[in-house]
Amino acid sequence: MPNSLNPLELIARRWQPSARFVERAALATVVMAVVIVVTGGAVRLTESGLGCDTWPKCTSGSLTPTSDMGIHGAIEFTNRMLTYVLCVFVGVLIIAARARTPVRRSLTRLGWAQFWIVMGNAVVGGIVVLTGLNPYIVSSHFLLSSALLTVAMVVWQRAREGDGEPRDLVARPVRQLTWLLVGATLALILIGTVVTGAGPHAGDAREVHRIPLNWQEITQLHVDFVYIVLGLTVALWFTLRAVKAPAAQRRTVLELLVVLLLQGVVGYVQYFTHLPEVIVGIHMLGSCLVWIATLRVLLGQRERAALPVAAPAAAGGQASVQPEPAASSR
């Protein structure tokens, strides 16, 4: 009975999104994940972290900011509202992936993973406010946003390929070197969160607890890892050239190298200009782009073929097997 169908099944009966629509919906969640990181940084850099002094309400007596809270309340509340916008984009992805025929369970599962990361990070954001911008919880808030970006990138990749078994496009030693690069980049980002937690931009004009470390010394460690990541990127590029890897794999490494160099320039500018808010915000955007470029290198080194799907059986005959339609060309 149609009434027994769940809402996603009802939608699937009435709407068949194209493969390109699903791919674009996945890309939109990547963009929104970056937007959330950048706007969250804007909250901290404008000292609006406690613009709404409680959670889930903005004040003890109001769900929304009041006029006497000024611009800080508006900035913090706007960032909270962007969480709902992000949920809409993730919801569109889940619905489109479920409505697509043939159904790709891998995409719907990854879409739901994004949704629960968003919900979990919203709760962590509330704890950030309730604990007065505890720097350790602020760091976990950022790391969860990075996890969301990671899953969104995987979904975008999966939307452009099939559901067959993954096949490596490079030799195992190259794959191992790539994983080493990914690990070093992740360490670079983790150290960057420590710099944030110990640095001068606390997120509020009032005295806020900071990580009890010398932020300039941690910054030096951060810079050291920049050189490690740069070295691994250059090594990977020369390795890919030596083994005559496909041009697509070499191109993703070159893109990462360009992003790293630009991010390095921004990093030095912000340090020698004493951390102006705008430059720090650009650096946060750059950290997202570095991670995206790193994931593109990793994900671009394997492919998945489309699984065959059974076509409807003709009268008196057996069902024929046809290849699943490809999502789109890369």
The verdict on 252 and 151 lying in the same domain is no
Residue 17: which CATH number?
Answer: 1.20.1420
48 inside domain: yes
4 inside domain: yes
Query: Of 124, 171, 169, whose CA–CA distance to 146 is shortest?
Result: 124
The verdict on 173 and 284 lying in the same domain is yes
323 inside domain: no
217 inside domain: yes
The verdict on 152 and 192 lying in the same domain is no
Mean pLDDT to the nearest integer, 155-160: 94
The verdict on 56 and 202 lying in the same domain is no
The verdict on 246 and 176 lying in the same domain is yes
Read off the pTM. Answer: 0.87
- Under 8 Å between Cβ of 188 and 222: yes
The verdict on 152 and 298 lying in the same domain is no
Q: Read off the tokens for 159.
A: 């939307």
Q: Is the dihedral of CA 180, 236, 218, 284 positive or negative?
A: negative
> What is the predicted pLDDT for the residue at 312?
46
Give the DSSP letter string of 215-228.
HHHHHHHHHHHHHH
The verdict on 121 and 204 lying in the same domain is no
- Under 8 Å between Cβ of 41 and 281: yes
CA-CA distance, 104 to 161, in Å (whole number)? 11
Q: What percent of the chain has pLDDT over 70?
A: 89
CA-CA distance, 103 to 87, in Å (whole number)? 22
The CB density around residue 18, as the number of other CB atoms within 10 Å, is 13
> What is the predicted pLDDT for the residue at 114?
96
> What is the predicted pLDDT for the residue at 205?
55
- Under 8 Å between Cβ of 225 and 188: yes
> What is the predicted pLDDT for the residue at 213?
82
Q: Please tell me whether the peptide bond between 56 and the residue prior to it is cis, using omega within 30 degrees of 0.
A: yes
- Under 8 Å between Cβ of 27 and 90: no
H or E element that contains 323? strand 321-323
322 inside domain: no
- The alpha carbon torsion through 81, 86, 89, 92 (nearest 10 deg) reads -80
Domain extent at residue 110: 1-163
83 against 313, higher pLDDT: 83
The verdict on 54 and 153 lying in the same domain is yes
265 inside domain: yes
Categorize the per-residue pLDDT at 321 as very low, low, confident or very high, splitting at 50, 70 and 90: very low
The verdict on 222 and 296 lying in the same domain is yes
Helices (H) and strands (E) counted in the chain, each on its own, are 9, 4
> What is the predicted pLDDT for the residue at 70?
86
101 against 257, higher pLDDT: 257
H or E element that contains 247? helix 247-272
Exposure string of 248-284, with b = 16+ CB inside 10 Å and e = fewer, is: ebbebbebbbebbeebbebbeebeeeebeeebbbbbb
The verdict on 90 and 154 lying in the same domain is yes
- Under 8 Å between Cβ of 163 and 87: no
Q: What is the pLDDT of residues 162-219, one digit of tens each?
A: 888 888 889 999 999 999 999 999 999 999 888 888 877 666 656 677 788 888 888 8
Considering its fold, how many domains does the chain have in total? 2
CA-CA distance, 142 to 205, in Å (whole number)? 20
Mean pLDDT to the nearest integer, 78-100: 92
Which of 5-19, 177-191, 316-330 is modeled with the greatest confidence? 177-191
Q: Read off the tokens for 312.
A: 């409807």
The verdict on 134 and 198 lying in the same domain is no
The verdict on 177 and 144 lying in the same domain is no
Q: Read off the tokens for 249.
A: 């794999």
Mean pLDDT to the nearest integer, 282-290: 94
